[in-house]
Amino acid sequence: MKLRNIFALYLVFTASFGFSQIRESEALPIFDPVPYFSISDSISGWSYSSDGQWIEWPNIIPPIGISRNEDFYKAKHNLFGIDNIKSLSAYHVKYGKDTLICLVKIFQNGEYKYPARKRGWDSYLDAYYCILYYKDLQKALNFFKDKNDDEVYVLRIKTLDSKLLKDIKEKDIVDNIIASSIVKPNYDRNLVLTLQNNKKAKTLLFHFSNLHEIFNDVEGVRQPFSRSGRSVYGSVNLFNYLYFAVEKDKFFDILKLKEALMKAEIDLQAEAPIEDNLDWDNTDSENVDEDEDDGTD
């Protein structure tokens, strides 16, 4: 074989060996099957009507109209409001050495099959999820807690993935998230938490959406909401028109991930079967007595 051919084979072998050394799979997110945090029944929704009245509905931010117009509020397309929360949950997600959480909002939605004639109404559940670093959420909420005033704060937290799961059954949500989520460190969207203390009622006013870093693109809400042609989501002015309210302590349970993981570990150990590792002496006592007698004769 010519020297040139031998050298070419050496290069091919070296290149192949080199490529095989760097082919390592990326880490995959590992989701806990049950949420460590969840709120639902304690949420109320508020909006400021066209005639200057604050209106409250359980779990739903009412549409904005004239407060005395009952037909307006009873219309099928208004029953689920501007936005609503059936439940808000957080799941622990392990991603390599990082601790992430997956925030999941389940909300009611509906639409007409024939919108122009308002016929064929169909209602269903939607779910919106976003994945973020737990430490980033912790830092943002601790910043808000330290302020301890009644100002409106808009907190923007980098997300790693987000998506709307349309017309879905609750039991299928986690499986769908696992099947579709991809952790993207350079993702171009932010979770936007708008918060305000209501010290008199010991409640927290809140709203969350997901906004693009550059464009005026809103996700995670049932309906857009704008004034003068601009979206009000992500603005301190949002609470002049609408918000959700919940007991403050219940909302901040979302920061109790460490406690939840410790409890889960204790529960797991308690359920584990007890192993009998003692080395029992099964020697026949009668034989022992006979051996002792033989030694004294």
- pLDDT tens for 224-250 read 999 998 999 999 999 999 999 999 999
Q: Is the pLDDT of residue 15 over 90?
A: no
For residue range 130-156, list pLDDT tens digits in order. Answer: 999 999 999 999 999 999 899 999 999
Q: How far apart are CA 3 and CA 222, in angstroms?
A: 71
The pLDDT of residue 279: 57
Predicted confidence at residue 277, as pLDDT, reads 58
Whether pTM > 0.75 for this model: the answer is yes
* Residue bearing the bigger pLDDT, 200 or 44: 44
* Bigger pLDDT: 129 vs 278: 129
According to the model, what pLDDT value does residue 189 have? 97
Higher per-residue pLDDT: 284 or 117 = 117
